[in-house]
Every structure is written in C-alpha cells, then in structure tokens.
A and B are shown apart, each in its own frame.
Chain A
Amino acid sequence: MLTATDWSAIRLTFELAGVTTLLLLVLGTPIAWWLARTRSAWKGAVGAVVALPIVLPPTVIGFYLLVAMGPNGPVGKLTESLGLGVLPFTFAGLVVASVFYSLPFVVQPIQNAFEAIGERPLEAAATLRASPMDTFFSVVLPLARPGYLTATVLGFAHTVGEFGVVLMIGGNIPDKTRVVSVQIYDHVEAMDYAQAHWLAAGMVVFSFAVLLLLYTLNPTGRKRA
C-alpha cells in the first residue's frame, strides 16, 4: 500500500495544483479578457505565447527555466537581489513553472467563454448605467461560468499531471518538490513495481473522475472550450 513518502507526495501535488490554479485564475482572467476583446495587432503574438506550453516539450520549458531561474540567469539575478534566493529546488519555483506550463489550459477556456458572450450584454448593461467593473462582475462572470469551470478543472488536472518540468527543476526533494509523478518514476526506476502501481492506478482513477465530473456538470463546456 501507500507509504508515508507516497502520501507526502500526494499532499504536495494537490497543494501545488491548488496554488497554481488559484494564481492562474487571477492572472488568466485579464489576459483572457484582453485576448477576447482587443483589436490590437499584438493579439496573434500574445495568443501564440500563451499557447506555447501546449506544443513545447517539457524538456525545453524545464531547461530554460533552470537556466533562467539559476543564479546566472536573469530571473535568478532578480530573485537573488530581492533576497528571495534562487527558485529551482523550491516549492515556489515549482509554482512559477506550473503557472507557465498550465497557462493555456486556463486562459483559453476563459477567453472562449468571453468571446461567446459577445457585445450585446455589455451594451445592454452600459445603457443601464452599469460601470465596467459592475458589468464584469454582474454580467460577464456569471455568463462565463462554464468557461471558468473548464479552466479550473483543466488547470488543476494538468498541473497534477506535470512531470518533465518538475523533474528538471525540482531536484526530487521530499515534502518540497517530490510530486506524485516523480515518485511514480522513482518507484518504476527502482523496480518497486507494486508501489508504482498503487500510485499510477490512483492517478488514472483521479484523472478519469475529474474529467467525468467536468463533462457531466458542463456538457457544453467542450464546445466552448
């Protein structure tokens, strides 16, 4: 069955996915809003940057994060001068990496939901003298609910399923950076196949349950996302 280190990896994985998803919802909303409404020439470029993690291999993301966040990299120099130390091998570092890695899975569903709302509800709200802020919270957010549900579930699940990036910048430290996917890899490599099965089967069940929940609660989510 599961050992104490397995449980600690599970807890850490959920903490990482939870913090990452919350941050992504906050950061992703303005990005999605801008992408949905702008007529700027930069729309294509920004959209492409947001989508990059979908197509880039995790080794590329992991390698550049390791170099950039290291003491000789631009991000590492900044964090060191702020007295934060360097980010690789820390929980905060994993959060930064995961935010980047899961960004498209949160921004794109929200962006699609915003686009599907169209101009009319916003114009109607404006004629009723609602301020832009009021319009956003009372009109846009409720209408975009399915998009937010999809974004939350996909952002969380995708972070839980992260492996390559964590392997490259995590350093496999118990309680800090050893997440479930890395723990499974360790078990497999060390030929503890029984241990690996418990965790791996757990991941399959979890992922299936999460997606089932999404498609049951949000039958149109697929179309909008």
Chain B
Amino acid sequence: MKIAPQLLAGLVLGTVFAGSARADEVQVAVAANFTAPMKTIAAEFEKATGHKAQLAFGATGKFYAQIKNGAPFEILLAADDETPAKLEREGAAVAGTRFTYAIGQLALWSAKPGVVDDKAEVLKKGAFNHLSIANPKLAPYGAAAVETLTKLGLLSTLESKFVQGENIAQTFQFVSTGNAELGFVALSQIYEDGKLKSGSAWIVPGNLHSPIRQDAVVLAKGKDNPAAAALMEFLKGEKARAVIKSYGYSL
C-alpha cells in the first residue's frame, strides 16, 4: 500500500486544479417539478455560453435545510416564492437576485385515458381507492392540492384516500405505476410540447388555489461565480421562456 499517499496527493491536487479550471461551473438546486424543463434549459445554456450547470433535483424544503447546513449550491430554483425570500432574509441568498422564473400549474392526472374528466366529476364520485398528493407540509404543489379540495368541499371525504409522495416526483410515480388511480401532479410532468403525454388530466383552474409562484435566487456561495449570473440571465431570456411555456407553466 505504498502507493496510497501518492494517490491521495494526486487526487487532492487534481481536485484543486479541476476546481480552478472549471470556475465556469454552477451548482443548481432544482425543485422536482422543474426537472424536465431544466434539463433542456441546462443543455441549451451550455451550448450558448460554454458554462456548465450541475443540477440536483429534490423537494424545496429539503434544499432549504441543506443550504442552511452548508450545501454547495449556488442557485436555487424553488417550487415556491417563500423559501427564496426566507433565504434572502436570513442572509443565505444574494439580495436583489430573486425573480419568478415560472408559475406552476396543478393538474389532476390518471395514467389511464378516460378516467379524469375535464370537470373533475371523478373527484365527486370518489370511485377510487387512492388519491396521490405531494406532502402538503413540504411541497407547494401538495399545499395547492389541499387548497383546491378545500374549495371544492371535498377535503374531508377524500382525505382518507390520500397517499403522500415525499415530493412531486414521487407523487407522479405513484400514479404512473397505477398504484394510485389518480393524483395531483405538476402539469410539467405530464405535458410536453403543449400537449398531454399520456393518460387523462384536468388542469386545475387558477381560482381554486393561490398561484404557485416559483422563484429563483442566487445563493451566498454563488455570489462571485460568473456562471451563476449567466444562468440567471439565461433563465430570463426568450429561449428559456419558450421551453418553460412548452411544459405548461405560465409566465
């Protein structure tokens, strides 16, 4: 095992040099609902600017805890507008960089065609065993789903059928595997190029819940990274906005 110290030294040096050589890389924490569009946008961003965006996907609440505990993220694309504002107040985000990059659209979806009608009668009939929603304590789309059911006066009757995903991606997975007959997901998960990919869906009207404003913010660790600033600009640009809209978000 004589080689080990040299190997270690090599690794350390390699990491240091790689670090300085790849200064145009940016670490981005992305809300799970924005996974698909962000992959496309990151690829275009790389092509257009030469910078590289490293993406991590997950629940906004989890990212908040990780950022507060020293996670190396430089930009947060949250699923709400509260978390970025809170991070800014607490000094973990750069003041003045916050903006709304997308307004989320909630949809009731079934993996089977013909199950969900466009008036959501299926919810009133209640002829199903499981309704998948994102954990309303953690995920803005879950909170919006609960708000919608409350407005429809169906919360108490349907609550016993809830199965909760830890984030919107797991909520989608419960429905797509057929284990839950239907569920409240993000339209971006079932929508591509302006149309439904599969199954049947009801796009929840905006008056049934408060708007899901999704804000982006530069975090303290990304303050001096030119790639972070470039990505924020790119997100505001026409190309990115076209991608975002094609996944069913409004702007």
Contacts and interface: CB of A to CB of B under 8 A. Distances in A.
Contact of A189 (B62, B165, B174, B177): B62
Given A72-B178, A172-B135, A188-B65, A167 B163 contact: no
Interface string A141-176: 000000000000000000000000001110111000
B65 A88 contact: no
A89 B65 contact: no
Interface in A63-84: 66-67, 69-72, 76
Contacts of B163: 89, 171-173
Contacts of A173: 162-164
B49 interface: no
A86 B62 contact: no
A89 B179 contact: yes
A12 to B, nearest CB: 15
Contacts, number: 59
A71 B137 contact: no
A85 B128 CA distance: 12
A171 B135 contact: no
Interface residues of A, number: 23
B179 A70 contact: yes
B177 A67 contact: yes
A89 B59 contact: no
A188 B132 CA distance: 22
A167 to B, nearest CB: 6
Nearest to B167: A189
A189 B179 contact: no
Contacts of A56: none
A190 B60 CA distance: 10
A128 interface: no
Contacts of A67: 177
Interface in B94-153: 129-130, 132, 135, 137-138
Interface in A33-88: 66-67, 69-72, 76, 85-86, 88
B93 interface: no
A183 to B, nearest CB: 12
B61 interface: yes
A67 B173 CA distance: 10
A76 B180 CA distance: 13
B57 interface: no
Contacts of B132: 171
B166 interface: yes
Contacts of B178: 70-72, 76
B140 to A, nearest CB: 13
A186 interface: yes
Query: Lowest 5 A-B CB distances belong to which pairs?
Result: A171-B163, A172-B164, A71-B178, A88-B179, A70-B177
Given A167-B166, A186-B138, A189-B65, 11 more contacts: A66-B173, A88-B179, A171-B162, A171-B165, A172-B164, A172-B165, A173-B162, A189-B61, A189-B138, A189-B166, A191-B61
Interface of A: 66-67, 69-72, 76, 85-86, 88-89, 167-169, 171-173, 185-186, 188-191
11 contacts: A70-B177, A72-B177, A86-B179, A171-B164, A171-B174, A172-B135, A173-B163, A189-B135, A189-B138, A189-B166, A191-B65
